[in-house]
Structure 1
Amino acid sequence: MEAFENIHLDLSKAAGKCRFAETGLGWRPAGHQETWTLDGRDIRQAQWSRAARGYEVKIYTRAGAVIQLDGFQHEDFDRLSKVFKIWYSVNLEHREHALRGWNWGKAEFGKAELAFNVQSRPAFEIPYSEVSNTNLAGKNEVSVEFSTAQEQPDKANTAGNIDLNQKKRGKKTTVAADQLVEMRFYIPGTALSKKEKKVKEEEEMADISDEDKNGAENGEGEEENAAHLFYNTLLDKAEIGDVAGESIATFPDILHLTPRGRFEIDMYENSFRLRGKTYDYKIQYDSMKKFLLLPKPDDVHTLITIGLDPPLRQGQTRYPFLVMQFKRDEEVSIELNLKDEVIQEKYNGKLQKVYEAPISNVIAQIFRGLAGKRISTPSKDFMSHHGESGVKCSIKANEGHLFCMEKSFMFVPKPATYISFDNIQNITMSRVGGAVSASRTFDITITLKGGQGEHQFSNINREEQKSLEDFFRTKGIKTKNEIDDSGTLLAAALQDEDLASSEEEVIAAARGSADEDDESIDEDFQADSESEVAEEFDSAHESSGSASGSDVEMDDAEGDAESDVQEVVERPKKKAKTGK
């Protein structure tokens, strides 16, 4: 037996003792009784290279797993080389990493990991077990997403031996503040497809018939986009595509409001997959923290909202909620790809063999059976003015609906916002904005405990004020009402159709006499009257006529003062202009 101290298994924080024997090897962390073991017959390949804590031994198993033992010293190479050669019949290969720091090289797919080589030396390797998802981010760009800390079980805390034949994702035990979650590869040009590669290999071995050669030359194996080929190969190797197993149920062309687009939903035993034109997502059922079934107030659609932790990532954007929209009158008939015995034994009868119901209810029931998540619906204690379970409002410029649940508020679709009652300090109801909108709508501001900020929902119909106040009172939420009822006169003015036809007129009426001279209607003016004022500015007035008319005016000017006074009195008075 050969023993080594201060060895780390799969980048674990805790160091342990590693022992090699003829039958296999084992590792036990300090202070723990659990031991991780590996049968010597399962070792397929072993490599020695420089690592973070000195030198590491990387072991490739026949089941496709990658084991990292880190913390060896340089002088341990000879001892380990003899151990692997004599006991396991495996050569311990010495590999040197590329240290040039180049970001361009060649990606090679191995049996257990993806290697990025620079000048035929590996710059880094990515085990397939660490790849959680991959997407085509562009015409020549592929994004690779990695398992996060929340998805990684601690191997050191697992009791008993670990069965490496069952390949588990996220087996690394590293839990750090900073973590690599995504990497992007730019892959230009074209590459040979799998079929053409196989044909060329067979040609080189002279094991292909002339007929097959002609078929290949006629275009059966054509070149394809190199990025697409990389993407499809990684899907196959990392087992996140169709090879992950047969789907239990499939729903095509489902409209998603967040993230926006139409996706096909494939449901598997432990996960479900969203397939779109640009992005594909694989989501574990364990990542589902909330499942809400929300009837949209338009009486036409139903929303399914799924809360995810960790959230869905699309480049730099994170989506903590999935929001799907369905028509209420759209029904579906589907048969699950499960045997009756499995439904009864494994799912305790929570699933049915055949479903015939509205599509939103069918998807909700299947999710409930497969994921074991409780379906949340709006509270029966709230009913809007129009008899709905949600009210229309806005978060900044984004319109949506606020639903009152039993223990929380949920705003959908964008940005999807979940607020638990236990996290609310108080709610303030206020009227803000212009004079017109303020009389018809109001806002509510939800202040969170512990200085976590606040959420403001604006443009709520005034008719919903009483319903919301009653609901807040029922749930015991502290509420402040800052709505000023002194706008009764303004509300009455808005109900007048004549004044409400113009927003400027309503504002002027509310301001009072400040704009009376310029904006108010002159009641003395009559467009059809034949008053002397109208004749004075008439183009056919006598003053522009004959000379006799002028003589008459001169005679009137020379008349007595009494006639002048009488004439002035009979003329209507002009309105004096006053400055603002």
Structure 2
Amino acid sequence: MSTVTFENIFHGDGPDIGKLRFNAAGFGWKTYTSEDTPTTYNGHDVRHATWLRVARNFQLRLAMRQAEKPRITFDGFKRDDHDKVKRTLDEYFNIKMETRDTSLKGWNWGKAQVQGNDITFQIQGKTTFEIPLSTVGNSNIAGKNEVALEFNPPPPFPHDPKDLSKRVPDELVEMRFYIPGKSMKSKGSDAGSDGEETDLDEDGNEVSAADAFHNMIKEKADIGAVVGDSIVVFEDILVLTPRGRFSLEFYPDSLRLLGKSTDYRVPFTSIHRIFLLPKLDDLHVQLVLGLDPPIRQGATRYPFLVAQWPKDEEVDAELNLSDEELAKYPDLQRKYEAPTFQVISRVLKALTGKKVTPPGTFRTAQGLNGLKANVKAVQGELYFLEKGLIFIAKQPILIDFSKTESISFSRVGGGIASAKTFDMRVVSKTEVADHVFTAISKEEVQPISAFLKQKNIKLLNEMEETVMDIDEPLSDEDEEMESIASEDEDSGKKGKKNDKGKKAKPAVQDDDDESDDEDFQSESSDGGSPSESDSDDEDSGMASDASDPMMEELQRKQAKRAKKESGNSSDAEKPKAKKAKKGD
């Protein structure tokens, strides 16, 4: 039997290159690097063939008759292979190959529609790109006329299906379509196609083109686990992050959050942590799911999903599972009649295989499982778990003790409010930025310290030094003391000047002549005393320049003027002082 072989061909979206071989019975592909059996197909199952230009040269697209494998693609053909491929399909399978032109204009406006199992975007009747509906994970109305499509992450490479790090490094995660206007259709045509009538909903209201496109995607794409029946559904659940009321639909491999205008699909493989924590009001219970990759809404990422129920709310639930399916989950039971948070957490634990983390042994000074704290301007609840911390707010924060360098207590700021609270800084080993939790009650220092010491966490307590700075505010007194000190310093300087004036006649006191002592005392008590003149000099800024001849001349003139004004009594006293100096 003759065969036709094509080298260096890719199969599907895989990265491996191999050999494609045709014969009259069918065709098969085998990679160069693997010794496994080649992937084979029956030639009679081919319904249609298309040749088109793609990123990896040219592609042969084969539409198959099997529902489980509706389309098969082979990339890597050269332009010269076109005639050979066309002749081979016609000869072996009696299939006429169609050549499809691709638009390369690069415009971002055109026509988007659903064709078969693909979303096609066409410009002037030529296809620009196609998106398989099976890759669409979610569809949302992002704006008045915008439809946002989120895509499922591709699976790991076939040679290592469990290694998530082997995924394609660059992935398309979201695409938005702006679709203005109203949905128009004629009778019997699909919504969104050209027609003469305006499309109306069940209430008789006009349907926008964006809503019609969104509804079509939801119906035909594999959003959530739409294909198949759900295991159990919980209606009207309050979800705090992302905020809204949703129906929780559980499927064998995913969780679906169906809201009024949003529809999230959460694969169980993306749930890596589950926490069940009581709120501080002792009336509600919170269920926190850590997600990787996070769910997205526009540009906002939600790495955590937080739901809340009243503690005393109960639910009756029955699982839609056969006996054989129920036997696969030993922790599940067919009927539940218990508080809602217990039922949902048990179902999640059984379906995901993940442990549900309860609150730790930590207790606050009031005996609660957590305490109130702030991160910047956001108030939330901080819980100390056995292996880390979790701060629940609009965007929760999870901190692992194994990745924590140290935790320090401090009080910054001032005033009465800061005297009653303190700040806790968590220094991470891996992250550049620290996490700072503020406005924690001061009475929680001892319980937190005791708990962290049990976990062998490096603890730095800066409270004592800060408490002294805050509890004894001395700002006003400090200013007063500084002013007093400055006055003392000034008086000390003046005292030194007076001492200099007194020390000018120490020899008089050494002499036994008492009259000379009286004369010295009378001189110091006189209105024109040396101390007064010195102070005047100091006030005028001249005291430091006494050795300057010009200053000495100025001082002599001032002294003569003082003599004339003082009269005869002062003239009679000054010779005595001269005599005392002479006798000295």
Same fold (TM over 0.5): yes
* Offset, 1:398: 0.7
Distance 1:194 1:376, change over 3 A: farther
Question: What per-residue deviation string (whole Å, max 9, x for no partner) do you get for residues 140-168 of structure 1?
Answer: 211111122xx423246579xxxxxxxxx
Picking from 173, 178, 183, the partner of 1:186 is 178
Picking from 329, 339, 347, the partner of 1:347 is 329
Q: Which whole-Å CA distance do the structure 2 matches of 1:106 and 1:490 have between them?
A: 67
Equivalent in the alignment of 1:60: 63
Equivalent in the alignment of 1:306: 289
**How do 1:217-366 and structure 2 match up within 5 A?**
224-240=207-223, 243-343=226-326, 345-348=327-330, 350-366=331-347
**How do 1:206-217 and structure 2 match up within 5 A?**
none
Any conservation in 1 of the 2:9–2:77 contact (CA below 8 Å)?
yes
Distance 1:220 1:300, change over 3 A: closer
Distance 1:38 1:462, change over 3 A: farther
Q: Which whole-Å CA distance do the structure 1 matches of 2:159 and 2:469 have between them?
A: 73
Any conservation in 2 of the 1:195–1:221 contact (CA below 8 Å)?
no
Any conservation in 2 of the 1:248–1:266 contact (CA below 8 Å)?
yes
Distance 1:54 1:280, change over 3 A: same
Any conservation in 2 of the 1:196–1:222 contact (CA below 8 Å)?
no
Query: Higher relative contact order by CA 8 Å / sep ≥ 6: 1 or 2?
Result: 1
Which is further off, 317-326 or 401-410? 401-410
Q: Which whole-Å CA distance do the structure 1 matches of 2:363 and 2:83 have between them?
A: 77
* Offset, 1:486: 6.6
Question: What per-residue deviation string (whole Å, max 9, x for no partner) do you get for residues 73-112 of structure 1?
Answer: 1111122112222333322211110112222222221222
Equivalent in the alignment of 2:548: none
Distance 1:459 1:193, change over 3 A: farther
* Secondary structure of residue in 2 paired with 1:244: coil
Any conservation in 2 of the 1:54–1:73 contact (CA below 8 Å)?
yes
Q: Which amino acid counterpart does residue 179 of structure 2 have in structure 1?
A: I
The structure having more radius of gyration, on CA atoms, is 2
* Offset, 1:321: 0.4
2:392 is equivalent to residue 412 of structure 1? yes
**How do 1:87-486 and structure 2 match up within 5 A?**
87-148=92-153, 151-155=154-158, 175-176=168-169, 178-192=170-184, 196-197=188-189, 224-240=207-223, 243-343=226-326, 345-348=327-330, 350-380=331-361, 382-450=362-430, 452-484=432-464
Q: Which amino acid counterpart does residue 409 of structure 1 have in structure 2?
A: L
Q: Which whole-Å CA distance do the structure 2 matches of 1:486 and 1:75 have between them?
A: 80
Question: What per-residue deviation string (whole Å, max 9, x for no partner) do you get for residues 5-30 of structure 1?
Answer: 21122233332222223333322223
Distance 1:489 1:272, change over 3 A: closer
* Secondary structure of residue in 2 paired with 1:185: strand
* Secondary structure of residue in 1 paired with 2:457: coil
Q: Which whole-Å CA distance do the structure 2 matches of 1:489 and 1:71 have between them?
A: 74
Picking from 67, 80, 86, the partner of 1:81 is 86
Q: Which whole-Å CA distance do the structure 1 matches of 2:44 and 2:352 have between them?
A: 37
* Offset, 1:61: 2.7
Q: Which whole-Å CA distance do the structure 2 matches of 1:44 and 1:221 have between them?
A: 41
Equivalent in the alignment of 1:527: none
What is the aligned residue count? 473
* Offset, 1:367: 0.9
TM-score, normalised relative to structure 2: 0.75
Any conservation in 1 of the 2:225–2:254 contact (CA below 8 Å)?
no
Distance 1:156 1:44, change over 3 A: farther
Question: What per-residue deviation string (whole Å, max 9, x for no partner) do you get for residues 202-223 of structure 1?
Answer: x99xxxxxxxxxxx99x99986
Question: What per-residue deviation string (whole Å, max 9, x for no partner) do you get for residues 205-259 of structure 1?
Answer: xxxxxxxxxxx99x99986221111111111111326842222111122111111
Gaps of 5+ in 1: 160-172, 205-215, 494-506, 517-580
Q: Which whole-Å CA distance do the structure 1 matches of 2:264 and 2:344 have between them?
A: 18
Distance 1:294 1:22, change over 3 A: farther
Q: Which amino acid counterpart does residue 12 of structure 1 have in structure 2?
A: G
* Offset, 1:290: 0.7
* Secondary structure of residue in 2 paired with 1:197: coil
Distance 1:174 1:57, change over 3 A: farther
Equivalent in the alignment of 1:558: none
Q: Which whole-Å CA distance do the structure 2 matches of 1:222 and 1:281 have between them?
A: 26
Q: Which amino acid counterpart does residue 266 of structure 1 have in structure 2?
A: E
**How do 1:32-71 and structure 2 match up within 5 A?**
32-34=34-36, 35-62=38-65, 63=67, 65-71=70-76
Q: Which amino acid counterpart does residue 256 of structure 2 have in structure 1?
A: R
Any conservation in 1 of the 2:225–2:256 contact (CA below 8 Å)?
no
* Secondary structure of residue in 2 paired with 1:189: coil
Question: What per-residue deviation string (whole Å, max 9, x for no partner) do you get for residues 532-562 of structure 1?
Answer: xxxxxxxxxxxxxxxxxxxxxxxxxxxxxxx
Identical counterparts, % of pairs: 40
Q: Which amino acid counterpart does residue 51 of structure 2 have in structure 1?
A: W
Equivalent in the alignment of 1:12: 14
Question: What per-residue deviation string (whole Å, max 9, x for no partner) do you get for residues 119-142 of structure 1?
Answer: 111011011111111111122211
Q: Which whole-Å CA distance do the structure 1 matches of 2:116 and 2:408 have between them?
A: 60
TM-score, normalised relative to structure 1: 0.75
Q: Which amino acid counterpart does residue 49 of structure 1 have in structure 2?
A: L
Q: Which amino acid counterpart does residue 156 of structure 2 have in structure 1?
A: P
Aligned residues: CA RMSD: 3.2
Distance 1:23 1:295, change over 3 A: farther
